[in-house]
Structure 1
C-alpha cells in the first residue's frame, strides 16, 4: 500500500511538472511582447540612464562597456546570488527555474548560482538577480549599476520553458540576439514583407554586438523562432546548408562556449574576453584556467583553478589523482 501511495505521489508531481511546462514549449515571447514600452528588441529592459533611448543603449552594447557578473570570484568560477520570489511562483515553478539555472551552470562551468531563500535586505552590498513576475519574459543587458538592490529578471508563467529561461538569463549575463549580429545577412534571409510592421525593430542589425569570433549558431537559444513576428509563414530562412533549429529546450553548445569566452579568463580578479579561435587553439592557460574534469591543461598544474591540479591533461583534485593513478 505504501509503495503504491509513493508511486502515485511521484506521478502527481511529474504530471504537475508537465502541466506547468505544457503551455510554454511553443511560446514565442518575442511575438507576444514586441509592443512593450521601455524595451530593446522586445525583451531587453532599458536602464534609467538610457532615458528610454535605444541609441544610448546601443552605445553600451560594446563588450568593453558591458558590466559583467564577475564581482565574486570563487576558485574556478564566478558566484552569482539569485533570489526567486516565492510570492510569485508555486514550489514546482520555482523548482523548474532553479533546475534551468543549474543546467546552465553544469554545462558552462564558469558561473555558479547561490540561491538564497530570503530576499536580501536593503543593506546588502552584493549584486543579485531577483527573479519575479514583472510582466513578460525579459532582463536587463549585463549587470546594472544598481544590481545590489536586486536586478529583476522577469519570468511570467508562459516563460518557464528552459530555453526561454536560458534566453533571458543570457541577456542578463551580457549576450544579445543571434539574429541581430552584424554578419547575419550572410546566414539568414529576412523576409521583411512577412514581418508585422510593429515588430520590424526586433530584426535590426547591431554593429556593436560582439560575438567573440563565434560561428553563426543556427541552434542558439538567442535565435528567434523562424515564425517570430510573422504575418504568415516564416520571417527568416537559412542561406546555408544548415537549417534553423530552435527545437532544443535549452541553450546551445555554442551559447555555453560563449559564456566561457566571456567569463573563463581572469586577470586581477576580473574576467576578460577572448576570441573563439583562441579557445579552439588552447582551451586553458594560466589566465584561462580549467575546471574540474576539463581537458587541455597540457601538463601545467597552474592551469587548473582552486585546489585542482593538471594530471595527464585533465584537471583533477588530489583524491581523484590518487584513485585513478
Structure 2
C-alpha cells in the first residue's frame, strides 16, 4: 500500500517491473479496476469518472469499477489532498506516475471553482500562533476587528504615485517552486494590462505584501501598515484565479455575495450551510463602485459553498438557474471596480 500526496490527482502506477496491469489479449486493452470511497461527493465522483474515461479514446487503458477483485485503485479523500493506492503488486522497479487529465495539477483550476479550492485548502487548516485570525479566507488581527469595515475605519487603498501608477511592493517566499513562482507572478502581472496597479519586488518600502505558503489561502482586506501576509499554501492555493482572488482582497475588495445589496440577487439557503459556517454569508459594506451585482466575478463563491449536504447554499434571484462562482479570472466588472476605486 502506498499513500501518495497529490493535489486531488489520481495517481496511476504503470510500466513498472512486475506491476503493470493485466492485458485482455482478446480485446488488446488493459483494464484498471477502481472504486471511490463513500467520502467522495457525487459531484467529485462525476469529475473523477470523466477524467478516467478520458483515457479510453487515446489509449488502450480502460478503467472499470471494481466488484470483488483483489487488485484495484482505491480513490479516497483524506484531508482533501491524498489518494490511496491499495493492494498494488509493484514493490520494486521503475514507477511512473501518470496524473489523470481532469485532476492534473495544471488543470485543476479549470475544474474547481475558486470557492471550492479555497474551502478545501482552509477546511482543516491548523494555524500557528503567529498567524492572524482568519474567517473563510479573510484575515483579521483579532476576532473583534471583523465587525469593522477596514476601508472606512482606517483606509485601505494603496497610494498612487506621481506617474499615475499604484505600486504594490511584494516579497515572494523562497519555499515556492519555479512552477509555483511562475503561476503567482503571472497572476500579479495580469493586473498590468487592465489597470494602473503594478506589483513590484520590495526593496525597503514600509508597506508590502508578504506572499507566503502558510496554512491555507487568505489575505487581509486592503493595505495594512508595516507589511501583511498573503497566504498561498503550496498544496491547494497556487492557481491563477486563486492568486487574483486573494490579491483583490489585498487591494480592498470583499466577496461579491457579501454585498450589502445582495438580497436582490442571491438567496442564502442557511439550512444547507455547514453548522458554524453561517458567518461566511454575513453582509458587509462593500466597494461596489456604482456597478451592479456580478455573478461572473472572481470574488463570487459557488452555489455549493460551505454546503453540509451537497445541496446549494446560494440560489440566484429571480432566476434560480443562473450560474455563478465559476470564474477562472477577473470579470469585466471586477476590473471596472478596481479602476474606479484607484482612479486608474
* TM-score for the superposition, normalised by structure 1: 0.65
**Does 2:209 match 1:115?**
no
Instruction: Give the distance between the partners of 1:143 and 1:78, measured in 2 at CA.
Output: 12
**Does 2:274 match 1:184?**
no
Matches within 5 A, 1:1-325: 19-25=104-110, 26=112, 27-30=116-119, 32-33=121-122, 38-47=132-141, 52-54=142-144, 56-63=145-152, 65-70=154-159, 73-86=161-174, 88-107=175-194, 109-115=195-201, 120=203, 124-147=204-227, 151-157=228-234, 158-206=236-284, 208-231=285-308, 232-241=310-319, 243-264=322-343
Deviations 1:157-190 (A, max 9, x none): 2112211111111110011111111111110011
By percentage of residues, which structure has more strand?
2
Deviations 1:50-108 (A, max 9, x none): xx234x333233446322111x515131111222112x11111101110111112212x
Instruction: Give the distance between the partners of 1:144 and 1:21, measured in 2 at CA.
Output: 32
Aligned to 2:150, what secondary structure does the other structure show? coil
Cα separation, partners in 2 of 1:39 and 1:219, compared to 1, 3 Å:
farther
Say whether the 8 Å CA contact 2:150–2:156 is kept in structure 1.
no
Say whether the 8 Å CA contact 1:177–1:222 is kept in structure 2.
yes
Unaligned 5+ runs, structure 2: 1-102
Instruction: Give the distance between the partners of 1:215 and 1:153, measured in 2 at CA.
Output: 28
Displacement of 1:35: 6.7
Say whether the 8 Å CA contact 2:166–2:197 is kept in structure 1.
yes
Displacement of 1:205: 1.2
Moved more, 237-246 or 217-226: 237-246
Moved more, 170-179 or 19-28: 19-28
Moved more, 134-143 or 36-45: 36-45
Aligned to 2:181, what secondary structure does the other structure show? helix
Say whether the 8 Å CA contact 1:81–1:129 is kept in structure 2.
yes
By percentage of residues, which structure has more helix?
1
Match of 2:61 in 1: none
Match of 1:14 in 2: none
Aligned to 1:82, what secondary structure does the other structure show? strand
Instruction: Give the distance between the partners of 1:135 and 1:35, measured in 2 at CA.
Output: 9
Displacement of 1:20: 3.7
Give the total of aligned pairs: 232
Which protein shows a greater Rg? Answer: 2
Displacement of 1:31: 5.5
Aligned to 1:79, what secondary structure does the other structure show? strand
Say whether the 8 Å CA contact 2:206–2:226 is kept in structure 1.
no
